[in-house]
Structure 1
Amino acid sequence: MKHSTNQQTRSGRGPARRIGRTLALVLPVVLVLSGTLAVTRVNWTGNPSNSVLTASDASDITSDARAAHRAPQDVLRDKLLGELQQEDPGTVLTHLQQAVNERPSLAKHCVSIARSLGRAAVRMYGPTRAQSYARPVCDTSFASGVAGALT
């Protein structure tokens, strides 16, 4: 006696296979979205009065609190860019070199800071005058920032 089998189910194309594929596609999306929504509901401010931080609440954070949470290289970059408004680029490059000498952990960020200073110097002084201040601070990154601002 020969038993009949359902070839459609045996080959894996039945309803269970379709449901499995649908879940495999939909479930990760649902998990990611629910995780994202859960993270937005967490009280990250430390203030127990409100568990949801809105965009208007973020404006209440003082500039001192923002500076405390910023990386040292970002603080140094902003300080030197502000100093560039009042001093010539040569003086600012000297201060960059002094900061790196005082805090060797900033050395790995020196290149990006010097490039930023070079781009800012081009905006303020023009390419020819900005290039005249270039010197070998952080592997001549100031000069490459000047050249990069021209393109």
Structure 2
Amino acid sequence: MPDAFTTRVLNIATGSDERVVDITGDCESFLREAAAGRDGLLNVFVPHATAGIAVIETGAGSDDDLLSTLHTLLPADDRWQHRHGSPGHGRDHVLPAFVPPHATLPVVDGRLALGTWQSVCLVDTNVSNHNRQVRLSFLGGVGEA
């Protein structure tokens, strides 16, 4: 019998560039095992003060548009009170107010119930932190699928 609550931590190398990393496949892989055909909720959480989770379209330029918009809203310059790290790093600490560090998503029959063009993405603007963790947690009913 599958557990009502199951969790896994992903380790993701984001490199030294700002990135939007599509983790939908990782979420689906986790749910094949954890959900085992059941309904429930997937919580996606990044335990970092300078990264977030977004549900957006990818591959058609939206991920680049998101980074461009964040540059406009949160410029990497010296206006920030939080000044350690790379130039403009203070903006990275404001990012989670715009792109929250979590998302809770519906799971139906063991699969993510996303819209046609929706993907689950890690958003990382901190060029000084090259490795991120993402915690995936499934909460579902107990019993057989």
TM-score range, shorter chain: under 0.3
Q: Whose strand fraction is larger, Structure 1's or Structure 2's?
A: 2
Q: What is the TM-score when the length of structure 2 is the normalising length?
A: 0.25
Q: Whose helix fraction is larger, Structure 1's or Structure 2's?
A: 1
Structure having the higher Rg = 1
Q: What is the TM-score when the length of structure 1 is the normalising length?
A: 0.25
